[in-house]
Amino acid sequence: MPSHPKKTWMGSTTKMLAVWLTESWKAFFVPCTPRGCLELIKRSGVPIVGARAVVLGRSKIVGSPMSSLLLWNHATVTTCHSKTKDLPSVCREADILVVAIGRPRMVKADWVKPGAVVIDCGINAIPDATRSSGTRLVGDVDFDEVKKVASYITPVPEGVGPMTVAMLISNTVDSAKRCLKASVKQ
């Protein structure tokens, strides 16, 4: 896979950090998972403009770019991590809560504002003796609890993952178009 940011379809190279921080990203590829999350949020019907958004996680691949995307879409954004003090009360302020913390079922119903949009980016294998594999996949959000409180919540699996793949395909098509356009100019 090429390391040049303009050629990296996943949009998640280390070189992209400065691009994300300066909003110069429009010439590059938006990282697939945050782009998919943003699309899910937009389709939920909850307005992003003026919304209070909390991103739980600060990775270079999901958390940081997600915070930037929400900010550039005019949300008021708080980025948290596992060491944030009083994390449940910070999460309860969110109209939009994006979780990418890497801890199975960490976010409980009492962490979520009633009616919030909850996007669970986590994917964790936990023991499950009832499965032939001995494990099952869960997110960073306790889905069964939080679905009773949230207006919209993504399941794990089959939530953010398929959107990530769709955005990878979109970035790949965009890359091909850019290459074709560049070759025609020469």
Q: How does pLDDT run along the chain (186 residues), one tens digit per residue?
A: 444 555 554 555 556 555 555 555 566 788 999 999 999 999 989 999 999 999 999 999 999 999 999 999 999 999 999 899 999 999 999 999 999 999 999 999 999 999 999 999 999 999 999 999 999 999 999 999 999 999 999 999 999 999 999 999 999 998 899 888 888 776
CB 79 within 8 A of CB 63: yes
CATH code matching the domain that covers 32-176, chosen among 2.40.10.120, 3.40.50.720, 2.60.120.10, 3.30.565.10: 3.40.50.720
- DSSP class of residue 31 equals P
Sketch the domain layout of the chain as residue ranges: 32-176
Q: What's the pLDDT at 92? A: 98
- d(CA 8, CA 11) in angstroms, rounded, equals 5
Sign of dihedral through CA atoms 110, 111, 117, 123? negative
Strand partners, 96: 53, 117
Which tokens is 179 given?
A: 């290459």
Give per-residue pLDDT as tens, 123-153: 999 999 999 999 999 999 999 999 999 999 9
pTM of the model: 0.85
